[in-house]
Amino acid sequence: MPQSVNQEAGWGKPPSAWLSIARYGLALFFVATALLWSLLLFPFLSNSFIVLFLAGVIASGWFGGGGPGFLAVVISSLAVDYFFFPPIRNFGVSLETVPYFLTFLLSAVAANWLSTARKKADERQRAYLDELFEQAPEAIMLLDLQGRTVRINGEFSRMFGYQREEVVGKPGFDLIVPAELQAQAAASRERLMRGETVNRETTRARKDGSLLTVSELAVPITVGRQRVSDYLIYRDISESKKAAETLQQAQAELAHLSRVTTMGELVASIAHEVNQPIAAVVTNGSAALRWLAMQPPNLDEVRESLSGIVRDANRAGAVIGRIRALLKKNAPRMTPLDLNEMIRGVLALAESELRRGGVVLQTELARDLPPVEGDRVQLQQVILNLVMNSIDAMRTILDRPRELVIKSSNDSAEVLVEIRDNGTGLDAEHSERIFHPFFTTKPQGLGMGLSISRSIIEAHGGRLWNEPVSAPGADFRFTLPRTEGFA
């Protein structure tokens, strides 16, 4: 009886005056009943009073406790002495009935002690189990077969913000399920009804509507073969989830950095490797011109210089070819990706930049975006590059709010991502040149970002372009083919 739990749990505390009076009254009532029946039965069963009074003492001790039980012993002894032991109707005790009376008295005391001790042990056991439930470190909700809440524990109240009185007796199964997950919850309820245990990581809502990531364990409780009740047990894993996400982010950042570093080293090495033959070409070219300018021109020397030029130009070409081959070796690692999640990840990375740039961010991410297949780090680089470009383009804007809009959408074949800002925008004649290597409009720019981004997107089977806009700003879009078999 759940309702009685609270009263019983309060047993150890000083009982209220009324409750004490009631318990002692109860003892008087039991003894009085025993007396009444003893008197009624006395003519037929002269010794039945012993059993009846002992029963009265046991009942008083059980229901009333030690004090009332003791009272029952005293009154019963007096009543027995007065009414049933000779001399009858007299409190005096004749010598030969003393052993009988003492036997009765000891029996009554023993019965009372046994009764109250048993009761106390029972209560202690119960209180112990209650505390176990109450103090369990996980949030627990106990449901009856109709899905109504029977009990919740303290952790449940703390985790979800509901008080016991608010939920007990009311449908509990859907109470903390966010609207968008009702279908999933209904499915797990069905499995529960079939007697299965459901264990998953999911999202649940607090009373105030805020969401938290939990691990949910739904367990049917069966007695014999019969399901009698369901346990729902929750553990808050928001923190560990967040830690895992942070770790993943850090890893992505690291991968990004190491790529950038590799790129920097690569560029330095290209510069040196290509610079040598170019220096030779320039020198040979100058020498050839000088030999040619002589009177008469020294054609043998010219020929030698020119063949040197050809040789060194080929050498420079070979260097480039080697670098190409090297880049190809770094084949992208293709995995199915949720672009929305990646966009959110990149925005998290760029958060401080967005804040510093005073940018108002607006995301319109399609809810049912199919996955795409791609290299996480490469695509992150593309999105980050476009976002950073937008932030840079809006730095000098002072007359209007700086707005960055990021949209994702899809049609039957492709997923489209749009990154639009209201920054300085691009000159019409630059709209294609910006994708050329080493073209930049930024004083510190290398002019590689968009060129690399485009080659990444094209390697993924998509397109990256600059959509003409009428309003001030720029609108970059890229598509990626949606993945077959995942949609």
Partner 1 sequence: MSESPPTVFVIDDDASLRQALKSLIRSVGLRVELFGSADEFLKSKPPGAPGCLVLDVRLPGQSGLDFQKELAKTGIHIPVIFITAHGDIPMSVRAMKAGAIEFLTKPFRDQELLDAIQVALERDRAARQQLSEISGLRERFESLTAREKELLPLIVSGRLNKQIAADIGTSEITVKVHRASVMRKMRADSFADLVRIASRLGISLPPASTS
Strands 359-365 and 139-143: unpaired
Contact status: 311 vs partner 1 (CB under 8 A): yes
| Residue 469 · residue 454 · CB < 8 Å | no
Using the minimum distance from each CB to partner 1, give the nearer residue, 271 or 398: 271
**Is residue 276 at the binding interface for partner 1, with CB under 8 A as the rule?**
yes
Asked whether position 98 contacts partner 1 by CB under 8 A, the answer is no
- Cα separation of 96 and 469, whole Å? 119
3-state SS, residue 404:
strand
Size of the site for partner 1 (CB under 8 A): 26
Residue type, 477: R
**Beta-bridge mates of residue 3:** none
Site residues for partner 1, 24-53, by CB under 8 A, read none
As measured in angstroms, the least distance from the Cβ of 290 to partner 1 is: 4
For residue 147, give the nearest of 197, 190, 99 by alpha carbon: 190
Among 227, 241, 315, 477, binds partner 1 (CB under 8 A): 315
Q: How many whole angstroms separate alpha carbon 80 and alpha carbon 101?
A: 8
* Among the residue ranges 110-118, 233-241, 307-315, 384-392, the one whose residues contact partner 1 (CB under 8 A): 307-315
Question: Would you state the structure tokens that stand for residue 413, as one six-digit string?
Answer: 């074949």
CB nearer to partner 1: pick between 308 and 462: 308
C-alpha R_g of the chain:
44
Exactly one of 52, 75, 281, 450 binds partner 1 (CB under 8 A); that residue is 281
Q: Does 341 bind partner 1 (CB under 8 A)?
A: no
User: Among residue numbers 214 through 273, which ones bind partner 1 (CB under 8 A)?
Assistant: 271-272
Binding segment for partner 1 (CB under 8 A), chosen from 124-132, 135-143, 279-287, 319-327, is 279-287
Q: Which is nearer to partner 1, 105 or 306 (CB)?
A: 306
Q: How far is the CB of 307 from partner 1 (least distance, A)?
A: 10
Residues 6+ apart with CB under 8 A from 326: 266
> Shortest gap between Cβ of 320 and partner 1 (angstroms)?
17
Question: Counting Cβ atoms within 10 Å, is residue 479 exposed (0-12), middle (13-18) or buried (19+)?
Answer: buried
How near is the Cβ of 439 to partner 1 at its closest, in Å? 23
Output the smallest distance, CB 297 to partner 1, in A: 11
Residue 233 dihedral angles phi and psi, to the nearest 5°: -120, 130
Of 202-210, 284-292, 340-348, 403-411, the window that binds partner 1 (rule: CB under 8 A) is 284-292
Question: Residues with Cβ < 8 Å from 175, sequence gap 6 or more?
Answer: 149, 160, 162, 167
Q: How many other β-carbons are positioned within 10 Å of the β-carbon of residue 244?
A: 11
Which residues make up the interface to partner 1 (CB under 8 A)? 271-272, 275-284, 286-288, 290-291, 294, 298, 301, 304-305, 308, 311-312, 315
